[in-house]
């Protein structure tokens, strides 16, 4: 029981202590980041696989072969055969055990393939960082949207409180015969609509909280505070880095396929011991046999390799086109987001000024309604106008944060340097 209580207390403390730093750190260690690290390790292993082909390969072997006529255990000179008569090293059944060794001395394509694998590893690292920053931008944008919904619900509750006060006044007027009963229904209908809107906001909040927990592994019940700490810095688009590395790797693949048509030099050797029964005496005989040498391979005609070169060239052209297309799209998007950010900052200032004016107008409208110089419908329009002004402010703030997070992501900025 005590353990369960402590666990619940620690969980509550963790939820209460959560801040934007906690969420962004959660992204760096949650499942998507782990998958990215595995991709980097996988690419590193691919590089090791290429390097491993440059090492010697040693294999043990054993065999048992039946021949339809006596066969030598190994080549022997006539003088050797004369010295071992009648135990000639020829047998119908020969068993062998031994080892072989092989090693590339010069295979140009292997070195190029290693460069390609190293570039793919670089691409995997860039992709991992890209995915983390993308999730961090989503977290900042989602938290900003969560703040917007909380402030919107707060504004709706303020509006409802204002209508509740109005309802009391209208009820008194209805009871005294100074206002029709329909006036009371109009106020109550607006209050019901506010309750429905608040409930819909709570549903949206749950969806956002689910997204945040999925990306960070941190469970929270409310938005965390954020403040603007620094500016985003322009630079190379982060999304281009893995594409550039992949395009370089694809071009190296073309080079490697071409190099497979060049001469290759291999070291090959083997040693074995053969066993059998001499066909003449029936005695057991054995012989050792081995050799080592250099093998030169010179391709003269290989249609399959020519097609492989063409296929690799197409892949390189495709990735190069994708790189150019993405660069153009990112530049266009960044320019648009930069302009939007300036406009949204202006919208925040204008909406704040508008709220100040709407508060003053509502105070005047309330006095006019109480004095009977304004109808209920006209007064309620001022109540709506103040709420709309507040909603527009909160929406502008959320859009500003979301746009800022997208720009930071595009340029590969660390969001923890920008958001506190």
Q: What's the whole-number mean pLDDT along residues 371-394?
A: 90
The per-residue pLDDT for 11 is: 40
Distances (CA, A) of 299 to 110, 139, 252, 261: 16, 56, 20, 6
Say if residue 137 is exposed, middle or buried (CB neighbours under 10 Å; 0-12, 13-18, 19+).
buried
The per-residue pLDDT for 184 is: 87
Q: What's the whole-number mean pLDDT along residues 320-346?
A: 95
Q: How far apart are CA 24 and CA 143, in angstroms?
A: 11
Checking if the pLDDT of 398 tops 70, the result is yes
Instruction: Name which residue leads in pLDDT, 224 or 179.
Output: 224
Query: pTM of this prediction?
Result: 0.82
| Confidence category of residue 85, pLDDT binned at 50, 70, 90 | confident
Checking if the pLDDT of 10 tops 50, the result is no
The per-residue pLDDT for 351 is: 95
The per-residue pLDDT for 13 is: 37
Reported as a single tens digit per residue, the pLDDT across 96-155 is 999 999 999 999 999 999 999 999 999 999 999 999 999 999 999 999 999 999 999 999
Specify whether the CB–CB gap between 179 and 173 falls below 8 A: yes
Give, in degrees to the nearest 5, the angle at Cα 321 between 316 and 325. Answer: 150
Strand-pairing partners, residue 284, are 277
Q: What's the whole-number mean pLDDT along residues 374-394?
A: 91
The per-residue pLDDT for 75 is: 85
Which pair of tokens denotes residue 266? 């291999």
Q: How far apart are CA 102 and CA 294, in angstroms?
A: 10
| Confidence category of residue 169, pLDDT binned at 50, 70, 90 | confident
Reported as a single tens digit per residue, the pLDDT across 276-326 is 998 888 899 999 999 999 999 999 988 999 999 999 999 999 999 999 999
Q: What's the whole-number mean pLDDT along residues 4-11?
A: 39
| Confidence category of residue 389, pLDDT binned at 50, 70, 90 | very high
Say if residue 282 is exposed, middle or buried (CB neighbours under 10 Å; 0-12, 13-18, 19+).
exposed
The per-residue pLDDT for 17 is: 57
Checking if the pLDDT of 9 tops 60, the result is no
Say if residue 261 is exposed, middle or buried (CB neighbours under 10 Å; 0-12, 13-18, 19+).
middle
The per-residue pLDDT for 313 is: 95
Q: What's the whole-number mean pLDDT along residues 363-379?
A: 88
Element (H, E) at 265: strand 264-277
| Mean per-residue pLDDT of the chain | 90
Checking if the pLDDT of 35 tops 50, the result is yes
Specify whether the CB–CB gap between 317 and 254 falls below 8 A: no
Instruction: Name which residue leads in pLDDT, 186 or 339.
Output: 339
Checking if the pLDDT of 5 tops 60, the result is no
Pinpoint the alpha helices (H) of 271-419. 303-370, 376-410, 415-418
Specify whether the CB–CB gap between 80 and 90 falls below 8 A: no
Say if residue 320 is exposed, middle or buried (CB neighbours under 10 Å; 0-12, 13-18, 19+).
middle
Q: How far apart are CA 287 and CA 234, in angstroms?
A: 75
Q: Output the CA torsion 155→156→160→166 (10° steps).
A: 60
Rg, C-alpha atoms of the chain: 40
For residue 92, give the 3-state DSSP assignment. strand
Q: Which domains does the chain have, with CATH numbers?
A: 2-52+107-253+327-418 (1.20.1600.10)
Residue appearing with tokens 């962004």: 24
In the structure, how many helices (H) and strands (E) does the chain have? 10, 4
232: left (phi over 0), alpha (psi -120 to 50) or beta: beta
Q: How far apart are CA 380 and CA 375, in angstroms?
A: 9
Reported as a single tens digit per residue, the pLDDT across 228-272 is 887 888 889 999 999 999 999 999 999 999 999 999 999 999 999
Q: Output the CA torsion 406→409→414→415 (10° steps).
A: 20
Distances (CA, A) of 214 to 169, 193, 264: 48, 32, 52
Please give the share of the chain, as a percent, with pLDDT higher than 70.
96
- Peptide bond preceding 86 in cis form (omega within 30 of 0): yes
Q: What's the whole-number mean pLDDT along residues 173-178?
A: 84
The per-residue pLDDT for 280 is: 83
Q: What's the whole-number mean pLDDT along residues 67-87?
A: 82
Q: How far apart are CA 29 and CA 36, in angstroms?
A: 10
Query: What are residue 237's phi and psi, to 5 degrees?
Result: -70, 125
Q: How far apart are CA 199 and CA 188, in angstroms?
A: 17
The per-residue pLDDT for 325 is: 96
| Confidence category of residue 273, pLDDT binned at 50, 70, 90 | very high
Reduced DSSP (H G I as helix, E B as strand, rest coil) percent helix, strand, coil of the chain, to 5: 70, 15, 15
Checking if the pLDDT of 1 tops 60, the result is no
| Confidence category of residue 14, pLDDT binned at 50, 70, 90 | very low
């Amino acid at each position: 029981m005590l353990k369960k209580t402590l666990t619940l207390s620690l969980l509550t403390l963790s939820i209460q202590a959560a801040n934007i730093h906690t969420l962004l750190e959660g992204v760096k260690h949650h499942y998507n980041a782990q998958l990215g690290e595995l991709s980097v390790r996988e690419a590193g292993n691919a590089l090791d696989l290429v390097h491993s082909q440059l090492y010697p390969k040693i294999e043990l072997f054993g065999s048992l072969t039946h021949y339809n006529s006596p066969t030598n255990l190994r080549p022997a000179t006539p003088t050797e055969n004369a010295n071992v008569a009648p135990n000639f090293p020829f047998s119908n059944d020969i068993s062998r055990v031994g080892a072989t060794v092989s090693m590339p001395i010069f295979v140009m394509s292997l070195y190029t393939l290693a460069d390609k694998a190293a570039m793919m590893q670089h691409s995997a690292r860039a992709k991992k960082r890209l995915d983390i920053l993308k999730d961090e931008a989503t977290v900042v944008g989602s938290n900003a949207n969560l703040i917007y919904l909380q402030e919107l619900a707060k504004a709706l509750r303020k509006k409802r409180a204002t209508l509740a006060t109005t309802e009391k006044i209208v009820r008194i007027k209805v009871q005294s015969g100074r206002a029709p009963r329909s006036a009371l229904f109009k106020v109550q209908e607006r209050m019901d609509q506010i309750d429905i809107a608040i409930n819909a906001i709570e549903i949206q909040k749950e969806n956002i909280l689910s997204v945040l927990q999925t990306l960070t592994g941190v469970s929270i019940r409310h938005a965390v505070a954020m403040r603007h700490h620094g500016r985003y810095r322009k630079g190379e688009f982060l999304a281009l880095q893995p594409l550039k590395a992949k395009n370089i790797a694809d071009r190296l693949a073309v080079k490697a396929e071409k190099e497979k048509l060049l001469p290759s030099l291999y070291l090959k050797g083997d040693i074995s011991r053969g066993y059998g029964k001499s066909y003449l005496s029936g005695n057991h005989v054995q012989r050792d046999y081995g050799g080592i040498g250099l093998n030169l391979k010179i391709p003269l005609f290989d249609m399959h390799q020519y097609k492989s070169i063409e296929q690799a060239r197409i892949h390189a052209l495709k990735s190069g086109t994708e790189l150019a297309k993405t660069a153009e799209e990112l530049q266009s998007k960044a320019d648009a987001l930069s302009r939007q950010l300036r406009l949204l900052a202006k919208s925040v200032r204008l909406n704040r000024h508008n709220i100040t004016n709407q508060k003053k107008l509502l105070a005047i409208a309330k006095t006019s309604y109480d004095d009977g110089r304004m109808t209920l419908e006209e007064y309620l329009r001022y109540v709506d106008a103040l709420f709309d002004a507040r909603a527009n402010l909160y929406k502008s703030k959320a859009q500003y944060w979301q746009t800022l997070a997208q720009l930071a992501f595009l340029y590969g900025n660390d969001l923890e340097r920008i958001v506190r």
